[in-house]
Amino acid sequence: MGARIAKVEVGRYDYLFKGSFKFFPPGSDGRARRPSIVVRLTDEEGVQGIGQAVPIPTWTYETPETVVSTLRKYLAPALLGADPTEFEAIHARMNQVIRPAFSVGQPLAKAAVDLACFDLAGKQRGVSAGEILAEIAPVLKAGTSGAGEGVEGTSASAKDKAGPRRLTLSWTINSPDLAVVERQLEEGRRLGYRHFNIKVGAPQSPAYDVELARKVREFAPDGFLWADANTGYTVHEALEIAPKLADAGVDVLESPLPPNHIRGYQALKRQGALPILMDEGILSPVEAEEFAELGMMDGVAMKPARNAGLFPSVKIISILKERGLVVLGSGLTDPDLSLAASLHLYAWAGIERPCALNGPQFLAESLSPRPLLPEDGQLAVPEGPGLGLDLDPELVEKAF
Residue 130 near residue 344 (C-beta atoms within 8 A):
yes
Neighbours of 258 (CB within 10 A): 16
Cα-based distances in Å from 398 to 11, 12, 14, 246, 300? 8, 9, 11, 48, 36
Q: What was the pLDDT predicted at 282?
A: 93
Could you give phi then psi for residue 2, rounded to 5 degrees?
-95, 165
Alpha-carbon distance values, 42 to 3, 9, 79, 126 (Å): 9, 9, 11, 16
pLDDT at 73: 97
Strand, helix or coil at 326?
Answer: strand
Q: Which residues of the chain have pLDDT under 50?
A: 142-156
E-strand ranges in the chain read: 5-12, 15-16, 33-34, 37-43, 48-53, 166-168, 171-173, 196-199, 225-228, 252-254, 276-278, 299-302, 326-329, 378-380
User: In the CATH hierarchy, which fold is given to the domain comprising 166-390?
Assistant: TIM Barrel (3.20.20)
In this prediction, residue 141 carries a pLDDT of 58
Give the residue extent of every domain in the chain. Answer: 5-160, 166-390
What is the helix (H) or strand (E) element at residue 141, kind and residue range? Answer: helix 129-142
Determine the Cα–Cα distance for residues 331 and 52; give it in Å rounded to an integer: 13
pLDDT of 164: 63
CB proximity list for 243: less than 8 A, separation 6 or greater: 271, 273
pLDDT, residue 162, reads: 54
Q: How far apart are CA 133 and CA 46, in angstroms?
A: 24
> Tell me, what's the pLDDT at 155?
42
394, burial (CB in 10 Å: exposed 0-12, middle 13-18, buried 19+): exposed
Separation CA 326–CA 321 (nearest Å): 7
Q: 5-160 belongs to which homologous superfamily?
A: Enolase-like, N-terminal domain (3.30.390.10)
Average pLDDT, rounded, for the chain: 92
Model confidence, pTM: 0.93
Q: How far apart are CA 389 and CA 75, in angstroms?
A: 24
pLDDT at position 139: 64
What burial class does residue 40 get, using C-beta atoms within 10 Å of its C-beta: 0-12 exposed, 13-18 middle, 19+ buried?
Answer: buried
Q: What pLDDT shows up at residue 384?
A: 92
| The pLDDT value given to residue 58 | 84
Distance CA 273, CA 271 (A): 6
